[in-house]
Amino acid sequence: LAKTTQPISMDSYEGQEVNITCSHNNIATNDYITWYQQFPSQGPRFIIQGYKTKVTNEVASLFIPADRKSSTLSLPRVSLSDTAVYYCLVVGGRDDKIIFGKGTRLHILP
Amino acid sequence: GAVVSQHPSWVICKSGTSVKIECRSLDFQATTMFWYRQFPKQSLMLMATSNEGSKATYEQGVEKDKFLINHASLTLSTLTVTSAHPEDSSFYICSAPGTSVSLRRNEQFFGPGTRLTVL
C-alpha cells in the first residue's frame, strides 16, 4: 500500500477555493487515488476518485499529474460546513483494506 | 447510495464487562467488512478485516481474544469488546466495500460509528 503525505492542517475563509495536495511517491500502476471527508463523530464519506488527469464532480475536483506521484483535491468556494478532516488514500484491489494516513484538518473561517 | 449502519451509536459500560457492536450493510451484501478504531484528534486505525464464513484477520498489535469479530451473514458483522477497560474507550467505525453497488475502485461505505465509554 502506497504511503501518502498531506498537510496536517489548513485554514481558509468562506468563499475561497481550497487546494489540498497529497504526495504518494510509491503509487503502483493499478492504484487509484481516493479522497474521503470526515466530520467529527461520523464515519468518513467518499468525495472523489481518480486515476490520472482531472476528475470533477458536484463536490470537488481532483488533479493528478502525469507521473501520478501527487494529487490535489480542490474544493471550490468553501463554506463553514466544509470544516472537516480530508483523507487522501491510494487504493488497489477492489476489496482491499484501506489504511488511513493522518489526513488534513481543514478549518473554514467566516 | 449504499448505507452501512451501526448499533448502538453510543454505549457506556463498566470496566470488565463485554460490549457488542453491530455493523450492517442495509442495501447491499458484503463478504468483507472492516473495523476501525479512532481516538480523539487522531486518524482511523484499522483493527481487523471481517470475513463472511471464515475467521477475521487482525492487524498487528490488535488482540484477537479481546476484540472478537463474527461475520454472521453477508450483511452483518459484529465486534465484541471483551472485558472492556477504560483504555478501550474510543470511537469504533466499520466499513464495507461497495463492490456489488459501486463502479469505483474499492469504494468503502462507512458506518456512522459507535462511541464506547468504559467507566
Strand order in the sheet with A53-56: A18-23, A70-75, A61-64, A53-56
Q: Does B4 touch chain A (CB under 8 A)?
A: yes
In this predicted structure, the answer to whether residue A94 has a pLDDT above a threshold of 80 is no
In this predicted structure, the answer to whether residue A39 has a pLDDT above a threshold of 90 is yes
Beta bridge partner(s), residue A102: none
Mean pLDDT of B69-84: 96
Confidence (pLDDT) at B22: 98
Band of residue A92 on the pLDDT scale cut at 50, 70, 90:
confident
Average pLDDT, chain A: 94
Residues of chain A with C-beta less than 8 angstroms from the C-beta of B45: 100
Smallest CA–CA distance, residue B95 to chain A, in Å, is: 9
**pLDDT, tens digit, 9 for 90 and up, residues B24-69:** 999 999 999 999 999 999 999 999 999 998 999 999 999 999 999 9
* A-interface mutation test, from B7, B103, B106, B117, most A Cβ less than 10 A away: B106
Confidence (pLDDT) at B99: 81
